[in-house]
Chain A
Amino acid sequence: MRFVKYVALATTACATIVLLGQVHAAKKGDASAVNVRLSGSAPKSLSEYRFFVGNLADLKPNEGVVPYDLNTPLFSDYATKYRHVWMPKGTSAAYHGEDAFDFPVGATLIKTFSFLHDLRDPAKGQRIIETRLLIRKKKRWDALVYLWNDEQTEATLKVAGTTKDVTWIDRNGAERSSNYIVPNVNQCKGCHVVDKKIVPIGPKARNLNRNYDYADGGANQLDHWTQAGYLTGAPSPNAAPKLAVWNDSSSGTVDDRARAWLEINCAHCHNPRGPANTSGLDLRFSQRDPVKWGVMKVPVAAGRGSGGRSYDIVPGKPDESILTYRLESTEPGIMMPELPRRLVDEDSLPLIKEWIASMHDVK
């Protein structure tokens, strides 16, 4: 009994501290504004943040919550993703041409993962699995994962991660299933780390530079963020870098699209400051040295991930390249990326193979 009492007391103390740390910009006591805390323990429920209004599963943005999309996204076992950003009133992110924008304290990136029942027909509904938050604190970004209930009425904080069995109908009408991985905080860090600090990956100029169909009409996202007061220092979209859309051949060459796909799916680890820097493989779009992005590069610690192949990329020979071997595998210890996928991305693989097949031998 004593034990229970102490816990109750400690909780009360925490709640007091938490209240002091609230940063919602609306006037005190406004129970409808977005509510992001900068200190104290994290809210247990997603609804406490009030990012969405009405029925939670409708993901209808609250005031100040802006939806966005990326030119080329990370493959997550065919999950559909809904991205939103929120910033405290009067604050904005500073534009950056190469890295993710410099977000203000309190800024929150909200990413919801869902499985459409039928990829051919979104109207048939969906099952939302998780919502991940990246919250800009004073000294760091915090990564939090909220797991949705089966009733789709609430999502609760999940620290240790879990797995969920999911099913859907794919684009060819086939029934598919996966044991989807909801990551733990460390697994979030597995990708979201630069120089040992958590950072956002998606919201970079080149990946945001595209149109979005907002409720009040279509607009370029960089322009829209600027007009909404969420971004300062951005050039006009024409002058900003723009990543190809991997599955839209009108958006770039095979090289552009393959490199875009590799940047988004691999370069968060495979860059000189990322978790996979020790491999020496750098898959950023900006890398200009072919050996650095794998051409005739020997593996270092690939182990059985080499698949008995000698080089990461053998020009002209996708089926002799370690890169494709690891993209085609679903076995832990071999497959790349390590997370979050369980399945092979069958849609992008032909692009990567076409890209390698089109390479000429480098002398």
Chain B
Amino acid sequence: MRISGTFLLVACLALAAHAGAIKPGPNAQEEIQEALITAKPGATINLGEGTFDLKMGLSLDIDRVKLRGKGPDKTILSFKNQNAGSEGLIVTGSGVVLENFAVEDSKGDAIKTKGCKGITFRSVRAEWTGGPKETNGSYGFYPVESENVLIEKCVAIGASDAGIYVGQSKNIVVRQSRAEYNVAGIEIENCHGADVYECVATKNTGGILVFDMPDLPVQGGRDVRVFNNQVVDNDTQNFAPKGNIVATVPTGTGIMIMANNNVEVFENTLSGNQTTNCLIVSYLASGKEIKDPNYDPYPEGIYIHSNKFGSGGNDPQGDLGGALSELIGKPVPDIVWDGVIDTKKMAGGELPKDLRIYIDGNQDADFINFDLMNALSDPSKAKISRDIAAHAGELPRLKPIKLARR
């Protein structure tokens, strides 16, 4: 018997028409997971309204699938009773779009996406509903080793590491999103090319972090623009488990740059961050040993301009905050630099221009270089400088990120 293609197509359409939104219920775990496994590339999987009580992490490995709920407050994937799996949802397919749902109370990360060529998070909420706790999962949004990453109109609350964390990825846009009550609000780590803009980072331990770390497959974090964000009132006591790098972030840090190169921070509002509004440090400030010979621990080519600074630095916290207030008193200035430079790169007694730190045209900003290297050996020998004019000047503007269309 010969079956015509048209006939099969009709059959498929009939099946598709019957496949409505998956509804909450006792079989939802298997229904969602089966849909995520059997989906054809490009398919849309709809999730209905309500709270899905899920006991195991979900996973998606098909390209270009859209997983779509009815809204970040209407379709809730709750992992409160999760007993297996390291994250709420892991995506390894490329070109996947996640939108209009929430992931709550996952035992590990809320949503991890790994090795994706193209991943979009739109209007998704990741939250630990019990408020900031050390036992909360690490990351809300966790794209790693991915490219063309878009996170927009998302909300992250309560992550014990970073609410929105993009790691070891390239070509990234994080915009119009909100991060609160996380240890790190938004963190860009070991990435090449990121724009973070029109976001609100508030009530975190640290608002927006741009880091580069050793011993990783992707290093040399660079080319990151942080602009037009509200980074205000980050004052939640650091609740990260010790051992994690963010556990070293002083409570009340606005924007923090560690060891990254070519970072442009502009037109942000920074205010009410009690340790300091803007912290620029080398990896040496973490106090951790460096064993990786290929790692460059120095922040270079940093350009902080046209930002608006409000209050801040009134109640410096953590090891660094404590040391700072002992060294320089209170309040701690808006922009703090550890003053550590790579002397091997010096020519004629100074760093080449493109490796320096420039601070220019910021409204109401004050500054300090606390000379970490000398302060470590003998605080009385630290050559502390408040001379912001020494950093006047500009660097070439970084190019906007263009996401590849799929």
Question: Which residues of chain A have a CB within 8 Å of any CB of chain B?
Answer: 2-3, 6-7, 9-10, 12-13, 16, 159-163, 179, 181, 184-187, 189-190, 196, 272, 275, 277-278, 280, 291-292, 296-311, 322, 331-334, 338-339, 342
Contacts and interface: CB of A to CB of B under 8 A. Distances in A.
The residue among B57, B213, B243 with the most chain A CB atoms within 10 A of its own CB is B243
B60 A186 contact: yes
B292 interface: yes
A291 B14 contact: no
A90 to B, nearest CB: 34
B61 interface: yes
16 contacts: A184-B59, A278-B114, A278-B218, A291-B291, A299-B243, A302-B244, A303-B138, A304-B241, A305-B241, A306-B242, A306-B244, A310-B242, A310-B288, A332-B83, A332-B86, A333-B137
B10 interface: yes
B389 interface: no
B37 A298 contact: no
Given A159-B37, A196-B115, A272 B217 contact: yes
Given A275-B114, A308-B243, A332-B107, A280 B217 contact: yes
Contact of B86 (A2, A184, A309, A333): A333
Nearest to B138: A303
Interface stretch (B28-36, B193-201, B267-275, B316-324): B28-36
Given A298-B288, A309-B243, A12 B137 contact: no
Size range of the chain B interface in the assembly: 35 or more
Nearest to B218: A278
The 4 closest A-B pairs by CB, nearest first: A303-B138, A306-B243, A333-B108, A6-B11
A304 B160 contact: yes
Given A298-B243, A308-B242, 10 more contacts: A160-B30, A280-B216, A291-B215, A301-B161, A302-B241, A303-B109, A303-B137, A303-B240, A322-B243, A333-B138
Contacts of A2: 14
A12 B139 CA distance: 47
Given A184-B59, A303-B161, A332 B33 contact: no
Interface in B120-177: 134-139, 142, 144-145, 160-161, 165, 167-168
B266 to A, nearest CB: 29
B107 A333 contact: yes
B403 interface: no
Contacts of B138: 301-305, 333
B346 interface: no
Nearest to A297: B215
B376 interface: no
A308 B114 CA distance: 26
Given A277-B217, A298-B215, A302-B138, A161 B33 contact: yes
A7 B243 contact: no
Contacts, number: 165
B238 to A, nearest CB: 13
Contact of B135 (A6, A13, A304, A322): A304
B244 A299 contact: yes
Contacts of A310: 242-243, 288
B328 interface: no
Interface stretch (B1-9, B226-234, B255-263, B329-337): B1-9
A43 B213 CA distance: 48
Given A184-B33, A275-B114, A190 B10 contact: no
A159 B217 CA distance: 33
B378 interface: no
A216 B11 CA distance: 53
B405 interface: no
Nearest to B115: A196
A297 B215 CA distance: 8
Nearest to B3: A13
Contacts of B7: 6, 9
Nearest to A301: B138
Contacts of A7: 11, 15
A142 B197 CA distance: 43
Given A186-B60, A303-B138, A331-B107, A9 B11 contact: yes
Contacts of A161: 30, 33, 56
B255 to A, nearest CB: 21
A280 B145 CA distance: 12
Contacts of A291: 215, 291-292
Contacts of B215: 280, 291-292, 297-298, 300
A322 B15 CA distance: 49
B385 interface: no
B107 A300 contact: no
A162 B33 CA distance: 11
Contacts of A311: 243
B242 to A, nearest CB: 4
Contact of B37 (A9, A185, A333): A185
B344 interface: no
A187 B245 CA distance: 29
Contacts of B57: 332
Contact of A160 (B1, B10, B37, B245): B37
Interface string B62-85: 000000000000000000001111
B38 interface: yes
A6 B114 contact: no
B125 to A, nearest CB: 19
A338 B10 contact: no
